[in-house]
Structure 1
Amino acid sequence: MNIETALKETMTIDGAIGAALVDYESGMCLGTTGGDRGLNLEVAAAGNTEVVRAKVRTLSALNIDDTVEDILITLARQYHIIRLLSDSGGHIFLYLVLDRERANLALARHHLRRIEGALTV
């Protein structure tokens, strides 16, 4: 599955507002879909790049020999899921924003794992 198809698939997840595929080494988006006036995916991708970098540094500082699967940020009205792609060498993440009232978090995470498995970057 290519990037465009993968991003389209993310938007079929119940409650999806927007999604991006991001290289966290550079902070650059490889692709985006969705979003609205209140959600600038380019700005969100850059900001979440810092979140991922901080978590990776923290694991290293704690000498935890493990990898980040995903990071969940819960807001009053939204879920933000950052899913690091295991086959990317750990440098690419899939970012999904969900409307909290319409989303099922467990199903969304399941769909992201499926998309990750089919995605080729």
Structure 2
Amino acid sequence: MPEMDVALKDAMQIDGAVGAALVDYNSGMALGTAGGSRDFDLTVAAAGNSDVIRAKLRTMEMLGIDEAIEDILVTLNDQYHLIRPLSGRSVRGLFLYLVLAKSRANLALARHHLKRIESTIDI
């Protein structure tokens, strides 16, 4: 899937990017990854963050909130984890996952870049 590879490569160009993945949140499977390290397994993180999205969607349904999730931010001591569910018809059930080094990242710009990258993905 060339579009996915290009999208992940673009995500890794974001200042502070440590890793990126395109993930199916129904199965928890990473369809593609870029970056990461021996100490940070993106496929494990992708599966875990699938649970985060599913939990949030269930909660919104119970509360009767009929809106789309733009993104979910998890802030750690040294990292930002951005989870962006994709909204196009051909990409339902997928999300972009981006891990940023907090010391090198601009969160607002990273969110802006992920939104742009999302618009280029058509699987």
Gaps of 5+ in 1: none
In structure 2, C-alpha distance between the alignment counterparts of 1:51 and 1:111, rounded to whole Å: 22
Q: Secondary structure at the match of 1:67?
A: coil
Q: CA RMSD, aligned part only?
A: 0.9
CA shift at 1:58, angstroms? 0.3
CA shift at 1:65, angstroms? 0.9
Partner of 2:115: 113
In structure 2, C-alpha distance between the alignment counterparts of 1:97 and 1:4, rounded to whole Å: 17
Q: 1:48 is aligned with what amino acid?
A: N
Name the TM-score, length of structure 2 as normaliser. Answer: 0.95
Q: 1:106 is aligned with what amino acid?
A: A
Partner of 1:30: 31
CA shift at 1:106, angstroms? 0.1
In structure 2, C-alpha distance between the alignment counterparts of 1:38 and 1:104, rounded to whole Å: 23
In structure 2, C-alpha distance between the alignment counterparts of 1:36 and 1:29, rounded to whole Å: 15
Q: Kindly provide the CA deviation profile for residues 7-41 of structure 1, in whole angstroms up to 9, marking residues without a partner as x.
A: 00000000000000000011111100000122100
Q: 1:32 is aligned with what amino acid?
A: T
In structure 2, C-alpha distance between the alignment counterparts of 1:65 and 1:51, rounded to whole Å: 18
Q: Secondary structure at the match of 2:23?
A: strand
Mapping for residues 1-16 of structure 1, pairs under 5 Å: 2-16=3-17
Gaps of 5+ in 2: none
In structure 2, C-alpha distance between the alignment counterparts of 1:39 and 1:120, rounded to whole Å: 28
Q: Structure 1 segments of 4 or more deviating over 2 A? A: none
